[in-house]
Chain A
Amino acid sequence: MILGALALWEILVRIGLLSPLYFPPPTAVGRRLWELFVDGTYPDHGRVTLSRMGFGLLVGTSLGFLMGVAMGRSAPLRRILDPIIGALYPIPKIAILPLIMIFLGIGESSKLFVIALGAFFPMLISTLTGVIHIPSIYFEVAATYGSGPLALLRRVILPASLPTVLGGFRIALNSAIHITIAVEIVSAVTGLGSLVWFSWETLDVEKLYATLTVIAVLGVVTTHGVNRLSQKLVPWRT
Chain B
Amino acid sequence: MTGFVCESVGFRYATKDGSIDALQDVSFAAGGHEIVSVVGPSGCGKTTLLKLLAGILDPTAGAIRFSPDLNGSRPKRALVFQDHGVFPWLTVVDNVAFGLEMQGVGAAERRARARRFLERVGLEDFADRHPHELSVGMRQRVGIARAFVSDFPILLLDEPFGALDAQTRLLLQEELLGIWQGERKLAVFITHDIEEAILLGDRVLVMSGRPGKILEEIPVPLPRPRALAAPDRPEVTEIKWHIWHHLEKEARRQLSIPD
Interface residues of A (CB under 8 A from B): 137-138, 140-148, 151, 155-156, 159-160, 162, 234-238
Contacts and interface: CB of A to CB of B under 8 A. Distances in A.
Contacts of B130: 235-237
B98 A138 contact: no
Contacts of A236: 88-89, 130-132
Contacts of B19: none
Interface stretch (B74-82, B118-126, B162-170): B74-82
Residue from A146, A156, A160, A238 having most chain B Cβ neighbours under 10 A: A146
Interface stretch (B49-57, B171-179, B209-217, B236-244): B49-57
Looking at chain B's contact residues, the main secondary structure is loop
A144 B77 contact: yes
Nearest to B129: A236
B221 interface: no
B87 A141 contact: yes
Given A137-B83, A238-B132, 19 more contacts: A140-B54, A141-B79, A141-B98, A143-B55, A144-B55, A144-B56, A144-B79, A145-B98, A145-B102, A145-B103, A146-B76, A151-B102, A159-B89, A159-B90, A234-B89, A236-B89, A236-B130, A237-B88, A238-B88
A120 to B, nearest CB: 26
Interface of B: 51, 54-56, 76-79, 81, 83, 85, 87-90, 98-99, 101-103, 130-132, 150
Contacts of B55: 143-144
A168 to B, nearest CB: 17
Max count, chain A CB within 10 A of own CB: residue among B77, B101, B102: B102
Contacts of A143: 55-56
A146 B103 contact: yes
Nearest to A151: B102
A138 B132 contact: no
Nearest to A233: B89
A39 to B, nearest CB: 49
Given A144-B56, A151-B102, A156 B87 contact: yes
B81 A141 contact: yes
A155 B98 contact: yes
Contact of B99 (A138, A145, A162, A237): A145
A140 B131 CA distance: 18
